[in-house]
Amino acid sequence: MSKSYIPKALRTLVAAQGQYRCGYCLTQERVVGVAMEVEHLIPEILGGPTEEANLWLACSLCNNHKADRVAGIDPLTGEAVSLFDPRRQVWQEHFAWEDGGTIILGRTPQGRATVTTLSLNRVALVRARRLWVSVGWHSPNDTQ
């Protein structure tokens, strides 16, 4: 959660840029009925500014798991790598959907570290994705 005030116009701009969904797990605000949080890609505690270039949308659980982290461990190599940056990087280059759109697979060291660090395949979220897919509310082809 941001310590700095984020003006409504900036919140609205960032929400529109993020298509009203979490930049990490792609959960859609309209599906869960809870507003996404505006998160600092470089956390404030690490000197990240409260400006458009450093802000993106995240669901509360991804944001809580990320906390003040900017790096994680790639479970394949054991190396520390930076986390995925949803503002500057393309989701489908770092992640892929498995199991019909219910499981997020990390394709790159950053993707794998982000999946692990942010717990993108939380049991409750995978269950929810199964329901969303079954009623057409979540499509693994919609990663833009």
60-82 pLDDT, tens digit per residue, is 999 999 999 999 999 999 999 99
CA distances from 54 to 1, 2, 119 (A): 14, 12, 22
Taking 70 as the threshold, does the pLDDT of residue 143 lie above it? no
Q: Average pLDDT for residues 26-52, to the nearest whole number?
A: 95
Residues listed for the chain: 144
Note the pLDDT of residue 141.
76
User: In the numeric block, which tokens belong to residue 4?
Assistant: 């700095």
- pLDDT band at residue 140 under the 50/70/90 scheme: confident
pTM: 0.93
What are the start-end ranges of the E strands in 1-144?
A: 37-40, 55-58, 71-73, 80-82, 95-98, 103-106
- pLDDT band at residue 2 under the 50/70/90 scheme: low
CA distance 10 to 14: 6
Taking 60 as the threshold, does the pLDDT of residue 17 lie above it? yes
